């Protein structure tokens, strides 16, 4: 082996290919081994020899609880955690001593049978896990070997290998997306196995790697990836790809995580970054816990009670034998233990008789109790649950599968339900319904929530659709003032035009199919975005194509031989012609690929605009997309920097009203007030709202900002934080355009289901990012809240808080909101105690928004919030972030613990 390692070092000698590959890294190289920096790892793509030196984790995974060596000791350790088994183990040991009046067989054999049955059940369930692991590890995947695709098992995949994943296939490891058969280097991913979402996610490869589709092309790929160490964060990734002396930043959208599946794409090509137990899904997986049901824990308490009674009986009997022992009762003694009948040593007689009596009275605790329960649960899971036709899913031919029988008796004992809104209570099928542009509200439709609210108040009306109503998937808008170009006759046509262009440009939607309004299909990461782009199309701003500058530039940045103006594709894609500054860049700077990639994203967005100047006129306009500031749960907004054909630089931004209003320029008081009223009206109708704004940029300001943006995008440390900080520099002084309102209808049967759950005594907490008015009305429509309930509403949308927010002093804002939340929580809790003590005892409901919740979750106020929620039948948290959802869920767990504690100590008064 040492000689083999020596030959490996010789491969990495000076002038060798491996030496050249390793030397490109920025880490220090010692001999033939490249040490890994503590903050990141270096991966050589398509080079197993270089990666071998680092000893990366293999791709074989195991989710079993035991293995051959640990099964017996670990299994016995688990079994003796049960009080009864430990008790019978002690009895069996005592029965093997001379003080036992019975044969050891009477205790040892039943205990062995109990342990044998329990261990067989554990082994059977773990064997099923092992078979599942083997099926996954032996699944085949195409790996590039010797310029051709070879099918190898997943477990033999290594870090740095180039793989090909076909349509509907699962990703065998965490892959860096290189290329796909779809145009523009995109693919569609289903992440249901990770987060439960069935919406397809769009992933887009780096332009530099789009050509690596065929084995011949991808064999020439010799890139180096410097990225973060393995971690359990599913939605973050920081790294750089070094290829052809270029450093290209890598984002989470370039990662294809293990467990996800490929959809709507013939195949993709990627390189393995994290494998096996270092993949993000495996790092999020917990070890198989030892699950114990409530019934089993109660049995342990019952056994402890019986043991205590048995100990008292044996103690009394042993003390009595020590007091009344006498030689004349010689016929009662054991021949082997004369010490038990020695009146001169009564203490020894008491001690020995104690063990004898424990052995004699041991049958008071039935050893068959656990065996009976184990067999019942095993048969129930394998024969009843797995064969239950009511739990059979016909569409996917999927029966119920009980992976463990330890928690069967917990079924049906649910007391609390924590539910999201979108996709759970609603259908997650968004439709553009209403909007507000320049302070004017548009849209005459009546939402499902409005109809439910009217019916609740005893109002009946019929909804009439006008003849101008346009029906399109994702578009359910009805207002003749905007449709078919009528917006040109409105008092604010320029604002309407900006509104529609923002919808058509500020997004990450990809078009598919024929480039006609009737046949085109939009693929989006969320149905909201698809609905907004569909709305722009129906208003006459038809987004139909992305044009990539790589279509104009040749490989490596070398332009085609003919002039750009002579290229028919170039003329068609960029009509009207691009500005002179861009043509100069094309003619003089195209060979400098680094400069081009740093200046902008090589992408044009083509929009067919109708009814702009006069009715019936259609013109194709190409906007150059320079930067995309993506949406995330922290930013709650998305921005796009684009260049118009005339050279105008514009930042379009859309997001939640709270974050947009904080970044608006001064002097829009009336527009802000009117739009806020429209937002509240839309929210009361149960609609999802977004605010739209824009900002004109100067060339100097943009160039200075873009340099900082590129630096942040290439950073290996705290990239997301730095990008957010850079975005703050440009996402300010915005001009408000208006807002959109999207309807997401309720799932069928949701109101009756929630009503049934409420009657069963189950408490329901709904956590949503919607506005408070939207959340309350949806809670009414779902019958989570009704008019008979007493509602406690804690909101940051008060006149006092708005007045402080307008002044912009962040310290004062935080102080005022915290004091308001503290006072409201105290007042609501006192009122709740009063209602509980009253004769009527109405049901209580708590509604709180995200800003107030941020302060209510402070350790000082958290106890008050918990005490208040203890008395509520329903809790609605609105405008909450994913982090706050996790914190509220933790608060709910604390609530359950408190209830259990109260029930144990019998403190009904404190409840």
Report how far Cα 406 is from the mean position of its chain's Cα atoms.
28
Q: What's phi and psi for 895, nearest 5 deg? A: -60, -45
| Contact indicator for 567, 561 with CB cutoff of 8 Å | no
Q: Which of 78-82, 508-512, 906-910 has the lowest mean pLDDT?
A: 906-910
Looking at residue 149, what is its pLDDT?
92
Sign of the dihedral through C-alpha 43, 46, 50, 53:
positive
Q: Which of 718-727, 767-776, 865-874 has the lowest mean pLDDT?
A: 767-776
Token couple for 531:
């609905």
Looking at residue 170, what is its pLDDT?
93
Does pLDDT of 74 surpass 50?
A: yes
Non-local CB neighbours of 544 within 8 Å, separated by 6+ positions: 511, 515, 520, 606, 607, 608
Looking at residue 156, what is its pLDDT?
92
Between strands 521-523 and 140-145, the pairing is unpaired
Mean pLDDT in residue range 454-475: 63
Q: Which of 330-344, 564-578, 771-785, 882-896 has the lowest mean pLDDT?
A: 564-578
DSSP H helical ranges for 843-881: 850-856, 859-870
Q: How many CB atoms lie within 10 A of CB 883?
A: 12
Residue spans of beta strands (DSSP E) within 517-586: 521-523, 541-548
pLDDT band at 458 (very low <50, low <70, confident <90, very high): low
Q: How many CB atoms lie within 10 A of CB 313?
A: 14
Q: Which of 153-162, 400-409, 788-797 has the lowest mean pLDDT?
A: 400-409
DSSP H helical ranges for 625-731: 657-661, 669-684, 699-713, 719-730
Edge-to-edge order in the sheet of strand 440-442: 440-442, 426-437, 735-746, 688-697, 649-655, 637-643, 618-629, 603-610, 541-548
- Give the residue with greater pLDDT, 606 vs 456: 606
Q: How many CB atoms lie within 10 A of CB 563?
A: 12
Residues annotated as binding site for Mg(2+)? 420, 422
Would you call 96 helix, strand, or coil by DSSP? Answer: coil
Look-up of token digits 């099964």: 71
**d(Cα 506, Cα 184) in Å, to the nearest integer?**
18
pLDDT band at 839 (very low <50, low <70, confident <90, very high): confident
Does pLDDT of 39 surpass 70?
A: no
Would you call 205 helix, strand, or coil by DSSP? Answer: coil
Q: What share of the chain is helix, strand, coil (3-state, %, to 5)?
A: 45, 20, 35
pLDDT band at 457 (very low <50, low <70, confident <90, very high): low
| Contact indicator for 811, 833 with CB cutoff of 8 Å | no
Q: Tell me which range, 20-29, 56-65, 197-206, 512-521, is most confidently predicted by mean pLDDT.
A: 56-65
Q: Which CA distances in Å does 222 have to 22, 161, 550?
A: 11, 11, 21
pLDDT band at 185 (very low <50, low <70, confident <90, very high): confident
| Contact indicator for 657, 676 with CB cutoff of 8 Å | yes
**Region at 809 (left for phi over 0; alpha for psi -120 to 50; beta for the rest):** beta
Does pLDDT of 11 surpass 70?
A: no
Residues annotated as binding site for ATP? 420-422, 529, 631, 654, 688, 768-770, 879, 885
Q: How many CB atoms lie within 10 A of CB 701?
A: 13
Residues annotated as binding site? 420-422, 529, 631, 654, 688, 768-770, 879, 885
pLDDT band at 506 (very low <50, low <70, confident <90, very high): very high
**d(Cα 855, Cα 862) in Å, to the nearest integer?**
9
pLDDT band at 893 (very low <50, low <70, confident <90, very high): low
Mean pLDDT in residue range 509-519: 82
**d(Cα 478, Cα 30) in Å, to the nearest integer?**
70
**d(Cα 326, Cα 399) in Å, to the nearest integer?**
71
Does pLDDT of 582 surpass 70?
A: no
Looking at residue 75, what is its pLDDT?
87
- Give the residue with greater pLDDT, 471 vs 727: 727
Q: Which residues pair with 227 in a beta bridge?
A: 41, 239
pLDDT band at 512 (very low <50, low <70, confident <90, very high): confident
Look-up of token digits 């030689």: 327
Looking at residue 332, what is its pLDDT?
58
Measure the N-to-C terminal CA separation of the chain; round to a whole number of Å.
70
pLDDT band at 186 (very low <50, low <70, confident <90, very high): confident
Does pLDDT of 258 surpass 60?
A: yes
For 269-284, how does the pLDDT look when each residue is reduced to its tens digit (9 = 90+)? Answer: 999 999 999 999 888 8
Burial 72-95 (b: 16+ CB within 10 A, else e): eeebeebbeebbbbebbbebbebb
Non-local CB neighbours of 595 within 8 Å, separated by 6+ positions: 589
Look-up of token digits 């005022």: 816
Would you call 848 helix, strand, or coil by DSSP? Answer: strand
Burial 364-387 (b: 16+ CB within 10 A, else e): ebebeebbebbeebbebbeeebee
Does pLDDT of 841 surpass 50?
A: yes
Q: Give the residue among 539, 537, 549, 467 at the shortest CA–CA distance from 509.
A: 537
Residues annotated as catalytic (active site), given as ranges: 420
Does pLDDT of 574 surpass 70?
A: no
Q: Give the residue among 552, 560, 542, 559 at the shortest CA–CA distance from 578.
A: 552
Q: Which of 39-48, 224-233, 877-886 has the lowest mean pLDDT?
A: 877-886
**d(Cα 728, Cα 841) in Å, to the nearest integer?**
50
Please give the share of the chain, as a percent, with pLDDT higher than 70.
81
Does pLDDT of 721 surpass 60?
A: yes
Looking at residue 17, what is its pLDDT?
40
- Give the residue with greater pLDDT, 88 vs 592: 88
For 723-747, how does the pLDDT look when each residue is reduced to its tens digit (9 = 90+)? Answer: 889 999 999 999 999 999 998 888 8
Q: Give the residue among 48, 40, 26 at the shortest CA–CA distance from 145.
A: 48
pLDDT band at 562 (very low <50, low <70, confident <90, very high): very low
Does pLDDT of 28 surpass 60?
A: no
Would you call 544 helix, strand, or coil by DSSP? Answer: strand
Between strands 416-420 and 763-767, the pairing is parallel
pLDDT band at 892 (very low <50, low <70, confident <90, very high): low
Q: Give the residue among 365, 304, 270, 281 at the shortest CA–CA distance from 61.
A: 281
Residue 569, H or E segment: helix 568-573
pTM of the predicted protein model: 0.63
Look-up of token digits 């060798």: 16
Token couple for 230:
């393995």
Looking at residue 564, what is its pLDDT?
33
Q: How many CB atoms lie within 10 A of CB 214?
A: 12
Counting Cα atoms < 13 Å in the Cβ hemisphere of 908 gives 2
**What would the DSSP string read from start to end of 411-454?**
TT---EEEEESTTTTEEEEEEEEEEEETTEEE-----HHHHHHH
Mean pLDDT in residue range 840-866: 86
Does pLDDT of 334 surpass 90?
A: no
pLDDT band at 464 (very low <50, low <70, confident <90, very high): low
Please work out, in degrees rounded to the nearest 5, the angle formed at the alpha carbon of residue 137 by the alpha carbons of 133 and 139.
Answer: 120
- Give the residue with greater pLDDT, 798 vs 271: 271
Q: At what angle do helices 772-781 and 448-456 cross, to 10 degrees?
A: 60
């Amino acid at each position: 082996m040492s000689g083999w390692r020596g030959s490996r070092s010789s491969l990495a000698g000076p002038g060798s290919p491996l030496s050249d590959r390793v030397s490109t890294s920025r880490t220090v190289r010692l001999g033939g081994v490249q040490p890994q920096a503590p903050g990141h790892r270096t991966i050589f793509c398509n080079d197993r020899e270089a990666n071998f030196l680092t000893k990366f984790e293999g791709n074989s995974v195991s989710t079993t609880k035991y293995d051959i060596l640990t099964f017996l000791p670990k299994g016995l350790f688990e079994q003796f955690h049960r009080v009864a088994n430990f008790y019978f183990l002690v009895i069996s040991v005592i029965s093997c001593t001379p003080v036992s009046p019975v044969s050891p067989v009477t205790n040892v054999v039943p205990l062995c049978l109990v342990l044998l049955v329990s261990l067989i059940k554990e082994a059977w369930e773990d064997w099923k896990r092992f078979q599942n692991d083997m099926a996954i590890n032996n699944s085949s995947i195409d790996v590039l070997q010797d310029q051709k695709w070879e099918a190898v098992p997943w477990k033999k995949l290594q870090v740095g290998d180039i793989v090909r994943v076909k349509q509907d296939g699962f990703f065998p490891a965490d892959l860096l997306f290189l290329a796909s058969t779809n145009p523009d280097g995109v693919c569609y991913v289903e992440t249901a196995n990770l987060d439960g979402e069935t919406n397809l996610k769009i992933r887009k490869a780096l332009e530099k790697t789009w050509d690596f589709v065929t084995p011949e092309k991808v064999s020439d790929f010799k890139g180096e990836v410097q990225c973060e160490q393995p971690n359990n964060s599913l939605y973050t990734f920081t790294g750089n790809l070094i290829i052809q002396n270029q450093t290209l930043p890598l984002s989470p959208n370039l990662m294809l995580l293990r467990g996800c599946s490929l959809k709507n794409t013939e195949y993709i090509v990627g390189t393995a970054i994290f494998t096996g137990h270092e993949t993000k899904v495996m790092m999020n997986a917990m070890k198989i816990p030892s699950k114990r049901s409530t019934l089993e824990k109660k049995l342990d308490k019952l056994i402890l009670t019986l043991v205590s009674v048995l100990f008292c009986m044996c103690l009394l009997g042993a003390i009595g034998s020590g007091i009344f022992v006498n030689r004349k009762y010689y016929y009662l003694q054991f021949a082997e233990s004369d010490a038990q009948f020695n009146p001169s040593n009564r203490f020894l007689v008491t001690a020995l008789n104690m063990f004898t009596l424990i052995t004699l009275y041991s049958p008071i605790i039935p050893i068959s109790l656990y065996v009976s329960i184990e067999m019942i649960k095993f048969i129930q899971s394998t024969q009843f649950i797995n064969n239950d036709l009511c739990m059979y899913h016909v569409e996917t031919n999927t029966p119920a599968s009980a992976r463990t029988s330890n928690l069967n008796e917990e079924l049906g004992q649910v007391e609390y339900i924590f539910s999201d809104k979108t996709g759970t209570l609603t259908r997650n099928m968004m439709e553009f319904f209403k909007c507000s542009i320049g302070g004017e509200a548009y849209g005459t439709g009546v939402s499902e929530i409005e109809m439910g609210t009217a019916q609740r108040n005893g109002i009946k009306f019929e909804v009439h659709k006008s003849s101008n109503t346009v029906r399109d998937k994702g578009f359910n808008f009805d207002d003749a003032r905007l449709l078919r170009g009528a917006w040109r006759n409105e008092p604010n046509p320029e604002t309407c035009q900006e509104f529609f262009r923002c919808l058509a440009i500020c997004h990450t939607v990809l078009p598919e199919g024929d480039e006609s309004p009737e046949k085109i299909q939009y693929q989006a990461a969320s149905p909201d975005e698809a609905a907004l782009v569909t709305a722009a199309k129906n208003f006459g701003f038809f987004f139909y194509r992305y044009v990539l500058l790589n279509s104009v530039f040749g490989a490596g940045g070398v332009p085609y031989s003919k002039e750009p103006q002579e290229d028919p594709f170039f003329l068609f894609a960029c009509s009207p012609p691009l500005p002179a500054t861009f043509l100069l860049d094309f003619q003089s700077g195209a060979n400098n690929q680094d400069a081009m990639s740093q200046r902008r994203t090589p992408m044009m967005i083509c929009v067919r605009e109708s009814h702009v100047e006069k009715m019936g006129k259609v013109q194709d306009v190409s906007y150059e997309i320079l930067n995309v500031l993506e949406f995330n749960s922290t930013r709650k907004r998305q921005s796009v920097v684009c260049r118009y054909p005339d050279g105008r630089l514009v930042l379009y931004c859309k997001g939640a009203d709270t974050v947009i209003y904080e970044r608006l320029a001064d002097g829009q008081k009336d527009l802000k007030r009117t739009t806020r009223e429209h937002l509240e009206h839309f929210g009361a109708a149960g609609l999802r709202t977004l605010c739209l704004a824009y900002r004109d940029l100067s060339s100097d300001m943009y160039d200075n900002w873009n340099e900082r943006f590129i630096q942040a995008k290439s950073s290996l440390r705290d990239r997301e934080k730095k990008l957010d900080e850079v975005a703050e520099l440009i996402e300010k002084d915005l001009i408000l355009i208006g807002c959109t309102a999207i309807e997401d209808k309720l799932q069928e049967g949701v109101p009756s289901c929630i009503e049934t759950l409420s009657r069963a005594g189950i408490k329901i907490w709904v956590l949503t990012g919607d506005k408070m008015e939207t959340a309350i009305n949806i809670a009414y429509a779902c019958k989570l809240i009704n008019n008979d309930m007493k509602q406690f509403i804690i909101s940051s949308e008060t006149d006092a808080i708005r007045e402080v927010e307008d002044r912009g002093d962040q310290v004062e804002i935080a102080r005022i909101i915290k004091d308001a939340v503290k006072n409201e929580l105290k007042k609501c809790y006192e009122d709740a105690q009063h209602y509980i003590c009253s004769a009527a005892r109405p049901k209580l409901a708590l509604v709180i928004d995200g800003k107030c919740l941020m302060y209510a979750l402070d350790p000082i106020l958290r106890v008050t919030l918990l005490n208040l929620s203890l008395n509520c039948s329903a809790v609605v948290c609105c405008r909450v972030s994913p982090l706050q959802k996790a914190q509220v869920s933790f608060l709910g767990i604390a609530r359950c613990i408190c209830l259990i504690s109260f029930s144990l100590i019998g403190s009904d008064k404190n409840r």
